[in-house]
Amino acid sequence: MVTASTQKTRPLGNSAKRPRRNLAALALVVMVSLALSVAALPQIEERLMGGRLRQDEATMRLVTEVIRGALSRTEALPALIAERPILRDILRDPDNTGLLPFANEQLRQTALSLDISDIYVMDTFGTTIAASNYRLDRSFIGQNFRFRPYFTDALDNGIGRYHALGTTSGQRGYYFAAPIFDGTRILGVVAVKITLDRFEAAWRDSDSRIFVTDQHGVIFMADRSDWLFRTLGPLSEAALEEVQSTRQYPITLLTPLSLRREAVSLSDFRSNALTRMVITTSEQGPEQRQAFLAQQSLIASAGWRVNILTPSGSARTEALGLLAILWLVILIAGLSAAILLQRRAQLLERIAAQRELAETLEARVQERTRDLNSANTQLRQEVEERTRTEDRLRQTQAELVQAGKLAALGQMSAALSHEFNQPLAAVKSYAENAATFLDRGRGDEARENITRISHMADRMASISKHLRNFARRPQDQLRDIPLRAVIRDALDLLDPRLRRAKVDLILDLPPEDDEIMVVGGRVRLQQVLVNLLSNALDAMADVSAPILHLSVTDEADDMIALRLRDQGHGLSQDAQAQLFDPFFTTKEVGQGLGLGLSISYNIIRDFGGRIEARNHPEGGAEFSLHLRKAAPETPSAPREMKKA
């Protein structure tokens, strides 16, 4: 048991340590993951930034293409419109006011259908004669645009293009202009203006900044209006003069943004076509510093640059956000793993405890089984011993029975010798008489004597047969035996004694035709009856007119009672106490062994019955045998009669 319990505690200790080791390993894994993710932060940031820059680059190209497309689509329009005869006509004859409304309306219709802000016609002096906006308050008619480079360029070079903040409309516009020829003579100039506001609306969705700068570095278009007309650096004198002379923008608006350019290298982002820089801006009011990575593309025809500024902090925020999610995932995974490990440890502990319990139980069961086995073996040995003892007892009992019978025979020998001697003497005298009668020729009388001799011989043969049966060793088996026949045999056996003692035998048996079958052995039951009858005769030795009552009655529970009552001295107190003990006798030495009742007791018990004795209220002793009634219709009875 001791070794068993030490073996059992070992796995429990191991299973308790293992989860602790697992938890430590898990904590280490989590910490290493966190550390690695922190170390990887710059790379993640750079990758994210690269992605953002590529995205913004694509946006920038799109913006560039949209503007470039819009400009190139409009570029050819003035030359086409200049071909219209009505324009030539009104220029040729400015005083013909009848044509002007038609010209104006035509221009209006054209502007409407082409989605163009304004179309207007100027004479060679720059004064507007006809305009699409002739109906509006801000109508250009009568206004002079000689100061605009597109006008002079159209006159000088055949094409003019320009962008400016409209002096009349206050709207930013791009202007294309072409001369109106009359043969080779220039009659005037037609100008087409497109507004730029509509492009900007689409830029406001992104958190990157998008703006367009002109050749001087003035922000001419922007996603946010507060950056409009700000410059990326201080303007040169010449530039300022040019702006002022052409009234391109109001000079007061042109204040430089506070920015600082820095070199930047981004390993993940290689695009030679783009300029890369970090711009720091600080706005008016509450100071705001924002770092951007800037990309630029050129719209050569207009001399514009499309700028896209990607906030560099956003990648860090995004990277940190990503890391936070990653950490959260790692932590949740770690926690789940820890919980799982904990559960597993508990389960292991429970299993170990159950195993320990099961082993203890098993050990106990084994112990019990061993105990039971040894008890069983002991019991078996005892049973064998008992069986042997019983066999010995049975043997002894059988021998005693035999001894008892022989003793009874011994007791009967005097009577028997008388029984034999008397008929022998009678046979002798009958024989002599028969001889005498024969001599005298009295045949009938001789025959009578011979018949008597024959009767005597029969009687002696009968006694001899009973004696032989009585002396025989009985069989052990139980059979159904006829009680009436057994009683008759016993009485026959004791007949000489009964007659000598002049006993008046009163038999109280059921009617003749009712055979009484009981369970037992014929010889043994006969021996019991002989015993009881002998004892009764012994007890009545001094009684002058002895009477014996022998009755057989049915009892409850399928039993048969045989009662034998004498008129002797009855049972003394001693006798009542020890009646059935072996070797208890009150008789003289040589008269009794004290075995008769003890043997009878055992025989009746073997039959499944019982024997009882009492003093009858009217005097004398009464012995009763209670025997089991045989089951009806049993075929063994007749055979039993022959064998027993």
DSSP 222: E
Cβ atoms of 600 and 535 closer than 8 Å? no
Please say which residue, 192 or 597, places its beta carbon nearer to ligand ADP: 597
Q: CA 210, CA 305: separation in Å to the nearest integer?
A: 11
CA distance 196 to 214: 13
Nearest-CA neighbor of 599 among 539, 530, 542, 499? 530
* Beta carbon of residue 426, minimum distance to ligand ADP (angstroms, whole number): 32
Site of interaction with ligand ADP (CB under 6 A): 531, 535-536, 539, 566, 568-571, 575, 579, 584-587, 592-598, 621
CA 140 – CA 120 distance, rounded (Å):
7
CB of 380 to ligand ADP, least distance (A): 36
Nearer to ligand ADP, 388 or 587 (CB): 587
Which C-beta is closer to ligand ADP: that of 122 or that of 530? 530
- Please report which helix (H) or strand (E) contains residue 458, including its range: helix 443-471
- The minimum distance between CB 460 and ligand ADP, in angstroms, equals 27
Is 498 within 8 Å of 529 (Cβ atoms)? no
For residue 429, the surrounding DSSP H or E stretch is helix 312-439
Of 114 and 543, which has the nearer Cβ to ligand ADP?
543
- Quote the least distance from Cβ 529 to ligand ADP, whole Å: 12
Instruction: Considering the complex, state which of residue 430 and residue 584 has its C-beta at the smaller distance from ligand ADP.
Output: 584
Query: Of 233 and 410, which has the nearer Cβ to ligand ADP?
Result: 410
Tokens for 563, please give them: 């009662």
Cβ-proximal residue to ligand ADP, closest one = 592
Q: For residues 393 and 435, which CB has a smaller minimum distance to ligand ADP in the complex?
A: 393
In terms of CB distance, is 371 or 504 closer to ligand ADP?
A: 504
Name the minimum Å distance from CB 509 to ligand ADP.
20
- Angstrom distance (rounded) from CA 570 to CA 575: 9
Least distance from ligand ADP to the Cβ atom of residue 527, Å: 11
Q: Which is nearer to ligand ADP, 370 or 614 (CB)?
A: 614
Distance from C-alpha of 240 to C-alpha of 298, rounded to nearest angstrom? 22
Distance of closest approach, residue 644 Cβ to ligand ADP, in angstroms? 22
**8 Å CB contact between 294 and 308:** yes
Cβ density class 373-398: b for 16+ within 10 Å, e for less? eeeeeeeeeeeeeeeeeeeeeeeebe
Q: Which of 133, 197, 140 is nearest to 171 (CA)?
A: 197
- Residue 93, Cβ neighbours under 10 Å: how many? 11
CB of 590 to ligand ADP, least distance (A): 10
Spell out the residues 6+ positions from residue 644 whose beta carbon is closer than 8 angstroms to its own.
474, 475, 479, 481, 521, 522, 523
> Considering Cα of 89, then 91, then 96, then 98, what sign does the dihedral take?
positive
By beta-carbon proximity to ligand ADP, the closer residue of 26 and 539 is: 539
Nearer to ligand ADP, 510 or 570 (CB): 570
Backbone angles phi, psi at 97, to 5 degrees: -70, -15
Nearer to ligand ADP, 280 or 578 (CB): 578
Q: Checking DSSP bridges between strand 479-482 and strand 277-282, what pairing results, if any?
A: unpaired
Query: Cβ 361 to ligand ADP, closest distance in Å?
Result: 59
Question: Is residue 136 exposed (0-12), middle (13-18) or buried (19+ Cβ within 10 Å)?
Answer: middle
Max Cα distance, the chain (Å): 223
Can you read off the two tokens belonging to residue 430?
């009958």
End-to-end CA distance of the chain: 63
Task: Determine the length of the chain.
Answer: 644
634: left (phi over 0), alpha (psi -120 to 50) or beta: beta
Smallest distance, Å, CB 396 to ligand ADP? 16
Q: In the bound complex, what is the minimum distance in angstroms from residue 587's beta carbon to ligand ADP?
A: 4
Rounded least distance, CB 480 to ligand ADP, Å: 27
